[in-house]
Amino acid sequence: MTASLSVNERPVPARARPFHKAARRQPAWMKLVVGRDMSPTEPEWQAMVDALWEGDEPMDRLVDWMFAGNPREARVLMERAINEGIASVPEAPAALRDFFAIIEREPEWLDRKLLEEGVSFIHRTGLAGPYVLRDFALMGGYLLSGFNKALILTGALNKSAAQRIAETGKWWIDCTEHGGMERFGDGFKSTFHVRMVHAMVRRHLPKNPEWDNAKDGLPVNQIDMVATYLAFGPVMLVGMRALGIPVLPHDSKAVMHLWKYVGWLMGVQEKWLVDDERAGLVRLYQTYMTQSRPDWTSKELGVALSKEPFGRTLPEWEKWPLLHELRLKSIYQQHLSVTSLFFGKGQRRQLGLPEKVYPWFPLLTAGPRFVNYSVKSLFPGMRERLETEGRAEQVRALSSMFGKKEHGIIKPGENHPAHIREAAK
């Protein structure tokens, strides 16, 4: 079984900053904004260091069961359970029944109405949401080289950047559909499959001689999952405001609740989940104290992501090849411009991006976006139209990334053993 080490066996992974560096106090204005000093206390720091060795025990047990016998037969049972419910699998072994007993029982704190209000807000943001998640959250994540190493060693980098972004975007679209996080919604089922792939990475990657647990901790550990889940909540909300979307307190609460449930279903332990944006920003900052510094992988991934637009297909422009190429170049420049709003020259250099880029696109569009969103949000009919049109823009953007390929979610990379790739199909 892919068990975590006991507390006494856990060294502090080299990627984590020592407590005396992690605990440096932040400026007073930052404390005023979030309500406390963002630096971790010693117990908080120790809990995070311990969590670098912790995976997702329920899913890890399920994947261990899958590979203990015939993985293909196990997947048939798992697919029937996720698509039809565990009650449809009377022959299910204990490992399968135990896992679905957890995810089919809603947590007591779940508020379905609030969750759906978070979905509605995300729809109304239109392309601002994808811009923030791509050019701020994802690009910024590449500055944390510990994340990148798992991508490289599992072979995920063998895919094109467009495919990687599209697969993640498909999962995001599934999770942010109305009803998507219901028991048989696409978001619920997609999250189950992504969670399973994470467990396969934890099972496989420590066997790779290039992976060093003493340096990086367990692959896809609890802290890395926490940082990922928070990118879709507080990071997105901060970026929304920068792009001109007014975020009311209730909007913030609803979005945080949506991603709290997604995070829970993804395998993040309840003690790491947060209810509000301020608590999320504090927790996110503290997870950065355990992250690796930028390295060559940051540059390789940053450059690949920046050039991703050139791999898109825009059906409405395909008739005119020259115009199609010019449109892709303009999208490339727009994304670089958004990135320059959030990252300085030094960080862009670490990501391999041009240094002489200016945030002209967000500066030109923030004002009109604010007015359009604010006015239409005041009237029910216009509000519904804003939501419908915004969602259509998000879906079109995803389709342009997939082009003519089948829309699918994250799968194991090419460096996973063949039996793992086969079992994930």
pLDDT for position 425: 52
Any domain includes 126? yes
Closest CA to 243 of 128, 375, 390, 389: 128
Q: Which residue do the tokens 């709290």 mark?
A: 260
On the question of pLDDT at 7 being above 60, the answer is no
Q: Which residue do the tokens 């697919």 mark?
A: 79
Cβ pair 262, 181 in contact under 8 A: yes
Any domain includes 14? no
Any domain includes 10? no
On the question of pLDDT at 54 being above 90, the answer is yes
Average pLDDT, the chain: 89
State the Cα–Cα distance between residues 134 and 400, nearest whole angstrom: 14
Any domain includes 25? no
Any domain includes 5? no
Q: How far is CA 349 from CA 157, 292, 300, in A?
A: 20, 17, 11
Q: Which residues form the domain of 70? A: 36-423
Cβ pair 171, 190 in contact under 8 A: yes
pLDDT for position 311: 82
Any domain includes 392? yes
Q: Determine phi and psi for 319, rounding to 5 degrees.
A: -65, -25
Any domain includes 45? yes
Any domain includes 106? yes
On the question of pLDDT at 279 being above 70, the answer is yes
% of the chain residues with pLDDT over 70: 91
- pTM, two decimals, is 0.90
What would the pLDDT profile of 347-395 be if each residue is shown by its tens digit? 999 999 998 999 999 999 999 999 999 999 999 899 999 999 999 999 9
Number of domains in the chain: 1
